[in-house]
Chain A
Amino acid sequence: MAATEVVQETKRPPQPPGLLKWIRDNLFSSWGNTLLTIVLLPITVFILFSSIRWMFVGADWRVVTQFPLLYTVGQYPRDEIWRVGIGLSLIIFMLGASWGKWGGLLRSISIAFSIVFGVFALLPVQHPELDLGMRLYLGANVLLILVGYWIGRIQYLKGGHIVIGWSITPILAILFLSGFENSSTLPAVGTTLWGGLLVTFLLAAGGIVLSFPIGIALALGRRSSLPVVSAFSTIFIEAIRGVPLITILFMFSIILALFLPSESRIDRLVRSLMAVTFFSAAYSAENVRGGLQAVPHGQIEAAKAVGMSNFQTMLFITMPQALRAVLPAIVGQFISLFKDTTLVVIVGINDFLGIGRSIINSDPEFMQLQVEVYLFIAVVYWIFCYLMSLASRRLEAAMGVSSRL
């Protein structure tokens, strides 16, 4: 009799958590918490409510909505803007092809791009810069991703081909953007006219792609048994990490010219890119060094034991494990590089932030609308940084950073 009662007791399904229980557990679990909730709730609601009201009623978003092209490409000549479009499409196409080949994270990125392009192509508003041609172009990019996807799915197209494609497309895109002297179809467009997101992405992508190998080289150099190499690497890394980025930017934009032959001229965008690259390389080097130290020595000994050369051990055993171990730190460095590109405003380059500033300064009326401009800029940076850290987390999960090793 008693036994059956117990059985019935255990068979009773557990109470569903319920909203009320959640509220009690998370907001009113103790006297202190209850007091805190009572104080915080009205303040939070008030702030949320008034900022939403400001967004829809108080704010004047003309400073943002009037100049979409200015924010994206800066002063790039409007007659030549198709060249930016071709550059973008090339990269979009490669993205689609990579999606078809490898899938995974690239799939999410491609779909996100398609959605953004699709939404802008079909945006139900009248805008002089969003004419039929622009809408068709944006729509075509969605198709281009899909075409790339289908091509990437082709069996005899190997991963190597896509890597080659990726190394050629940026160069092609840059050639399209800068053009050639004495050319009628592709007249040269000086980098002083480049601006907006275009410059921000060029600096960030260029900085990431260039600084990473330099960082690996510096990390290996610092751990090298050759005193000259390791001393030079250490001095380089510590000197750069000891000073602010802005001093390095100024050094490259003002002082570098004095140390080069007087007839040589380096473009000022390239100088900024060099500064950002070297700065980021020093930090990447320290991250990579941390990863190298985390690889157990037995791994290297085992590799030697099966007859691998030093170079093979580094390439196939040490480096992959080292990089996987510090993947979060490396992506974190890329994010901060992306944020740091804003400093080029101070040396007079019109990146995304710089364009915002020049729009504000272009019209006394806009001086009153600074909040809108800076908030818009902050949100755009926020979205990209947040997506990068999201991608990092997915990549970590896929590579099993925390579960293995």
Chain B
Amino acid sequence: MTTNQSSIQHKSDIPFYRDERVLQIIAQVVSAVLIIGAVIWAIMNFLKAAEARGMTLTLGFLKEAAGFPISNPPIDYDPSMSFGRAFLVGLVNTLRVSVFGVIGATILGTLLALARLSTNWLLSRIALAYIEFHRNIPLLVLLFIWYFTVFAKLPKVQESIAWPGPVYVNLRGFYITWPRLTETSQPFVISIGIGILLAIIVYVILRRRREIAGKETHYSRISLGIVMIFPLIGWFLCTGSPLWLDVPILEGFNFRGGLRFTPEFAALFVGLTMYTAAFIAEVVRAGIQAVDRGQVEAARAVGLSTGQVLSLVVMPQALRVIIPPMISQYLNLTKNSSLALAVGFQEVFSVGKITINQAGRAVPVFALVMVTYLTMSLLTSFVLNLYNRRIQFVMR
């Protein structure tokens, strides 16, 4: 009774400025007012400036003719098309260099990690030197080195370097002989599609059967065989060859045909790949080293082959450690592709910059560019996090 009374007494003694609940509400209101106030203040300033300079905030200008060229556009584009189209070209360019870069950096990074862990001292030291060099210099310096001292110094068109393939390398880019589909190639394409689908279905079914019954079903070999046989069937179904070789030919002052990469693309791709590979190598190395040695020894002891030890024991465990930092490396690579501006490759950011110079609508263009990057980052991390969740330990 007395304790109860005293506690009530005590409660009413607390002045409101020492009551934590009241303080929390006050803190929230104050911070909300401060933040919203600052935003409103900035918008008011902007509206005043916009009125004074006659700026508009709409995205309507995206339909106007862009009027600037983009070299080697991946989709149809010429300067008479709209700003929106130019922006789309930039987006495709960003995605192209990012996807190529992610694949290249993953392969190179993994090889470097394996080299770093090699028992051969020389190989391990070479990998170490590569990694330490690339991790400790700014990416922009690396890009400048690749672009200005290698790719911008390629020979003129008339003095092109010819590699077997044939591949021609000159100041205007890399021209690679490339197989392309003919008009009568539909059966070929369709049968490839069917083959892949069928292979996946067979793989899943046979693998499940193996897991349940414990009998060897050769699931990987059978599905691999299906993938390889179906294109062959499709090839014979076609009237004539479904593919033709697009060989680059020197016509006047320029090459025609073939798959073309500009030196700017090459510089950005090589720079991004080599830079990110050094970071990925450390991620992969840490992942492999995180797998307990006893696991490998135990796997050997039960008679698994080296390949099986790697693919069934080491990799599944290493991936759990590797995937989260790998996601952030992929995101870094995508964001770093915006440094293309410095070497003159036209992706989202540099198209946005040119648009600002031409159309002068800094704020909407910038909002568009930032929203684009934000969407790409969030989508990538969302998809990869789904994958990450699949391979993590199931906690009970």
Would you give the 0/1 interface string for B356-379, flagging 1 where the beta carbon is closer than 8 Å to chain A? 100000110010011001100110
Q: How far is the CA of A27 from the CA of B124 in the complex (A)?
A: 10
> In the complex, which residue of chain A has the Cβ closest to the Cβ of B141?
A378
Contact B149 A370 (CB under 8 A): yes
Contact A27 B121 (CB under 8 A): yes
Q: How far is the CA of A274 from the CA of B141 in the complex (A)?
A: 22
A363 CB → nearest B CB, Å = 15
Contact A385 B136 (CB under 8 A): yes
Given contacts A228-B28, A353-B144, 4 further A-B contacts (CB under 8 A): A33-B120, A228-B31, A228-B35, A262-B45
Q: 10 shortest A-B CB distances, which residue pairs?
A: A26-B121, A385-B136, A339-B138, A244-B335, A259-B42, A242-B377, A244-B338, A242-B374, A342-B138, A342-B140
List chain A residues, Cβ under 8 A from B356: 254
Is B249 close to A, CB under 8 A?
no
> In the complex, which residue of chain B has the Cβ closest to the Cβ of A37?
B122
Would you give the 0/1 interface string for A308-324, flagging 1 where the beta carbon is closer than 8 Å to chain B? 00000000000000000
List chain B residues, Cβ under 8 A from A115: none
Is A374 close to B, CB under 8 A?
yes
Pick out which of these stretches binds chain B: A60-68, A116-124, A166-174, A245-253: A245-253
Interface size on B, residues (CB 8 A): 53
Majority DSSP secondary structure for residues of A touching B: helix
5 chain-A/chain-B pairs, Cβ below 8 angstroms: A40-B120, A243-B377, A346-B342, A374-B149, A381-B138
List chain A residues, Cβ under 8 A from B377: 241-243
Contact A258 B138 (CB under 8 A): no
Contact B136 A386 (CB under 8 A): yes
Contact B122 A246 (CB under 8 A): no
Within 8 A of B (CB), among A223-247: 225-229, 232, 239, 241-247
List chain B residues, Cβ under 8 A from A357: 144
Q: How far is the CA of A13 from the CA of B360 in the complex (A)?
A: 82
Contact B149 A244 (CB under 8 A): no
A324 CB → nearest B CB, Å = 20
Pick out which of these stretches binds chain A: B48-56, B217-225, B227-235, B289-297: B48-56
Is B312 close to A, CB under 8 A?
no
Would you give the 0/1 interface string for B124-156, flagging 1 where the beta carbon is closer than 8 Å to chain A? 001000001101111111101100110000000
Contact B362 A255 (CB under 8 A): yes
Is A261 close to B, CB under 8 A?
yes
Is B27 close to A, CB under 8 A?
yes
List chain A residues, Cβ under 8 A from B148: 370, 374
Q: How far is the CA of A403 from the CA of B132 in the complex (A)?
A: 25
Q: How far is the CA of A371 from the CA of B150 in the complex (A)?
A: 9
Partner among A250, A261, A340, A389 whose Cβ is within 8 Å of the Cβ of B45? A261
Contact B120 A378 (CB under 8 A): no
A58 CB → nearest B CB, Å = 13
Is A209 close to B, CB under 8 A?
no
Contact A374 B144 (CB under 8 A): yes
B20 CB → nearest A CB, Å = 9
Is A375 close to B, CB under 8 A?
yes
Partner among B46, B126, B369 whose Cβ is within 8 Å of the Cβ of A44? B126
List chain B residues, Cβ under 8 A from A260: 42, 45
> Known: A343-B339, A374-B149, A382-B137. Is A242-B50 also a contact (CB below 8 A)?
no
Q: How far is the CA of A37 from the CA of B362 in the complex (A)?
A: 57
A12 CB → nearest B CB, Å = 29
Contact B119 A242 (CB under 8 A): no
Contact B122 A44 (CB under 8 A): yes
Within 8 A of A (CB), among B323-380: 335-336, 338-339, 341-342, 349, 353, 356, 362-363, 366, 369-370, 373-374, 377-378
Contact A258 B133 (CB under 8 A): no
Contact B373 A247 (CB under 8 A): yes
> Known: A37-B122, A342-B141. Is A250-B366 also a contact (CB below 8 A)?
yes
Contact A226 B45 (CB under 8 A): no
Q: How far is the CA of A229 from the CA of B32 in the complex (A)?
A: 8
Q: How far is the CA of A243 from the CA of B35 in the complex (A)?
A: 22
List chain B residues, Cβ under 8 A from A239: 374
Would you give the 0/1 interface string for B197-238, flagging 1 where the beta carbon is closer than 8 Å to chain A? 000000000000000000000000000000000000000000
Is B196 close to A, CB under 8 A?
no
Within 8 A of A (CB), among B87-143: 118-123, 126, 132-133, 135-142
> Known: A242-B373, A258-B46, A258-B49. Is A247-B366 also a contact (CB below 8 A)?
yes
Is A395 close to B, CB under 8 A?
no
List chain B residues, Cβ under 8 A from A242: 373-374, 377-378
Contact A41 B137 (CB under 8 A): no
List chain B residues, Cβ under 8 A from A370: 148-149
> Known: A26-B119, A247-B373, A386-B136. Is A377-B141 also a contact (CB below 8 A)?
yes
Within 8 A of B (CB), among A252-306: 254-255, 258-262
> Known: A243-B373, A374-B149, A385-B136. Is A255-B120 also a contact (CB below 8 A)?
no
List chain A residues, Cβ under 8 A from B12: none
Is A36 close to B, CB under 8 A?
yes
Is A29 close to B, CB under 8 A?
yes
Contact A243 B27 (CB under 8 A): no
Is A81 close to B, CB under 8 A?
no
Q: How far is the CA of A239 from the CA of B367 in the complex (A)?
A: 12
List chain B residues, Cβ under 8 A from A343: 140, 339
Contact B122 A247 (CB under 8 A): no
Q: How far is the CA of A382 from the CA of B32 in the complex (A)?
A: 44
Is A345 close to B, CB under 8 A?
yes
Contact A27 B24 (CB under 8 A): no
Q: How far is the CA of A335 from the CA of B137 in the complex (A)?
A: 10
Contact A247 B338 (CB under 8 A): yes
